[in-house]
Structure 1
Amino acid sequence: MIKEEQSKSFHPDNHGFYGPFGGAYIPEMLIPNIENLRNNYLKIINSESFKKEFKALLEDYAGRPTPLYYASKLSEQYDCNLWLKREDLTHTGSHKINNTIGQILLAREMGKKRIIAETGAGQHGVATATVCALAGLKCIVYMGETDIERQAPNVARMKMLGAEVRTAMSGSRTLKDATNEAIRDWIANPLDTYYLIGSVVGPHPYPDLVARLQSIISEETKQQFRDKTDKEFPDYVVACVGGGSNAAGSFYHFLDHPQVKLIGAEAAGLGLSSGQTAATIALGETGVIHGSMTYLMQTDDGQITEPYSISAGLDYPGIGPLHAWLSKSGRARYLSVTDQEALDAALLLTRQEGIIPALESAHAVAAINQLDLNPQDNLVVTISGRGDKDMNTYMNRLNLL
C-alpha cells in the first residue's frame, strides 16, 4: 500500500520508490556498487565544492544558461504563447551534457577510473565521451547495431573523442540491448568501473540522481519565464519522453505546482495498434526492467516487447519510474506521437523558426496538436537536442535529396 505522505510526493522515498515504482532490483554482484553510490551521491552533489565546480562547468563548458526563446511564428500557428527551451544549444547539442558533467564529477570523487555508458540516439554517448576526455578517464559506450547504422555521425564523434564504441547485437539491437550489455560489463568489472546512466532509469539512486542533475533545465526555465513575462508560471511544460531525462529535468521545479500542466510526448512509432511502437505509458504494464519497477511493454507471459520508433532516443520499451508515477497519480499527462507526426512537426519548426530539432524533440512539438489551448496560454516546449544527428533520416523521409 502507498503511504499517504508518499502519495502526495513526486520525489522518491529512502528506498528509491515513487509511489509503487522504482527501487533497486539488481544482481547480488552489483549490490556493493549501488549501495556505495546510494550512500554517497547526495553527500557529494550537495557539497559546496561539487556545486561550485558543477556550476562553473555548466556555464563555461556546456554554455548554460540556454535561452528561453519566444517562437512568434509558431505561437501564431498554434494560437498561444509558445516558448522553446533551447537545450539544443548546449555543448554536444543536447541536454545530455548536464547529466554527464555531474556524474563524471561524482565518479571522480568516488575514485573510479573506467566509465561505461549506454546510448541510443548517440547524444548521451557523445556527452559521456566528451566529459571522459575532459576528465582523462577511459570511456566505453555500448550502442545497438541498428542505432550505430542510423546515428553514424554520433558514432564518429564518440570515436574522435577517444571512446571505444561496443556494438550490442542482441534483440532489436537498440537502446534496450545496449543497456543490457552495459549492465553485464558492470557486473564483470565492479571495482574500478562507474556506470554513467543516461536517463532517469535503472536502479535507485540513478533515477533521482539524473533528475537532480537535469533539474537545471526547469530551474532556468522558471526564472527566465518570470523575467520575460512577469508571470509566476507557464500554463504548460512539454517534453519528449523515452527513458525520460529531459522531461524529468523540464518538470522538476514545477512538480509541486499543480497549476502547471506537465505533458510528456512518447513515441507511437507506426501507431499504437501497429505492433511497431515505443509508447510505454499508453501500452505498458507494471514490471521490472534494468533494475527498477516501472511500466514496460511486455507480452502476456512477461517477455519484454521489442520497441520501435523513428527516433533512436525514444526507442525504449520502458519508462523512468518517476514518469510512471506521474502518470499513475495524474500529475502529468503523456501523449503518443507517431513517426509521421514527428516528421511533420520537425519540418514545421524548421521552416517557421529556423530551428532543426532532433527527432526526439520533434515529438514534443507534435504533441502540441493534441492540446486544447487558449490564446492566452503560455506553453514551454523543451527542444532537447539539435537535428544534425538525424539528417540522414530527414533527407530520406522528407525527400530532401
Structure 2
Amino acid sequence: MVKNRPLILFEYRGFPMRVLLAFDKFKDALSAREACKAAADELGVLRPDWEIDTAPLADGGDGFCDTLAGILDGDFHIASVTDPRQRVVDARYGLVSAEKIPAAARRLLNWSPEVDQIAVIEMAESSGIALTPIDGRSPWDVTTAGLGELVKISQEKGAQGAIIGLGGSATHDLALGALWKLGYRFFDKDDNQIDGAPIPNIWPRIAKISLSSTQLPESFQIRLACDVENPLLGNRGAAAIFGPQKGLTKDRFQELESETERLADLLIQADGAYPASRDEAGAGAAGGAAFGLKAGLEAQIVSGYSLVKAWIGLDEKFSQADWVITGEGRFDESSLHGKGPGALALETIAKNKRLLVLAGSIGSIPDCPIAQASLRQISAPSLPLPEALQKTEENMRKALREHFAQSS
C-alpha cells in the first residue's frame, strides 16, 4: 500500500483550505463531539481563513448516543435502570425528531411514516461491560434487564421507535432480560412461571417462553446498530468469540453454547415471537442480543458505521475536504481493520488528501501505510495515564499548534 505523501508546505501556505475534523472518542477523556469541538476551536485560531467541518465518529459502542442525538440537538434524559448485576445505575438516552435525520440515514433505518420521535440508546449505558468489575466477570449471572427498562422508559417519554447501539455489552443472555422487562415470561417443565431475570445461570430450568402481555405498542420499531457479523453459534459465534472477555472459561464453553442453542430455539417457538435465524450475520452481536431482539421484538440490524456516516453527512464532508484530521484515544494496527478513524485515514490516503492522525497513544503498526509525519501521539509516553487523560484536550490543542507551526 502506498503511503500518503509527506507534507509539502508550499501547497497550502497562504491558500484557504477546507478541513474535516472527524474524531472518535478519547475514552475516559473526551467524547467524539468534544474532541471535534476542541480541535475546531484551536484550528480556528491557528487558521482563521480555513473552512472547518466536523463529523464526530461512532459505531454502535461508546459515544453512539452522544454523537447521534447530540449532532441533531436532541434531548438527553437520564433514567435509573437495572445494571448487569441487578443493581441500580443511571443510564443516558437521547430523543430526536425523525424529520431532523438526514435522508440517507432515514433510508437505512427504513422507518414507517408514523415514527416521529426516536430514542437513541446505547446498550452499554445499562448493560455494559464497564459496569462490571474486571475481577470475577462472568456471563452466567448478568442480565440485559436494564436495556428493556430503558426502551420502555423512552417509549413512555414519547418515542415511537428506538435505535440501539449494541457495542460494549457485558452480557450473554440473548437479550432475554430485556424481553422479560418488555412482557415475555419464562416457565419451567411443570408450567410454573419462573420469577426473576432469566440469566444464563437459571437457563436449565427454563422449558418454555411466552409473550404474556406486551409492554410496547405494536407499531414501536427497533433498529440495532452494530458492525459485528458473527452468527449466534459455532466457532465464530457469540460464546466462542466474545465469551472469554466476559469471563467465560474454557471448561464451561460447551455448556453455554448448548444452552444458548436451546434457549434460542425456545424463543423462536414462543408465542408472540418473530422469525429469526441463528445463522444470520450479526445474530451473535452483544451476547446474542441482536438475535433475541429480532426474534422477540422484530428488530432489524443496520450497520452502525454506515448509519453514523449517513447521519453526520461524512461522505459529503469528506469529498469537499482538502485536509482530514482524525484520531481516537489509542491508534494501532487494529484501527486500520476497523470502521472508524483508521478506515477514514486509509480512505484519505487513497484519495490523496492531506492527513493528520492524533491519538492519545500510538501502538505498533507493522508496514504502516500512513506516513510518520501524519501520525502524532499527543501524550508523552512517560506521562501517567490518569494525568494523560486529564490533559487530553490540552495536549490535543498543543499537538495542533506544534504541527501547524511548521507552515507559518
Please say which structure displays the higher CA radius of gyration: 2
- From the two aligned structures, give the one with the greater helix fraction: 1
Same structural fold, with TM-score higher than 0.5 when normalized by the shorter chain = no
Q: What is the TM-score normalised by the length of structure 2?
A: 0.30
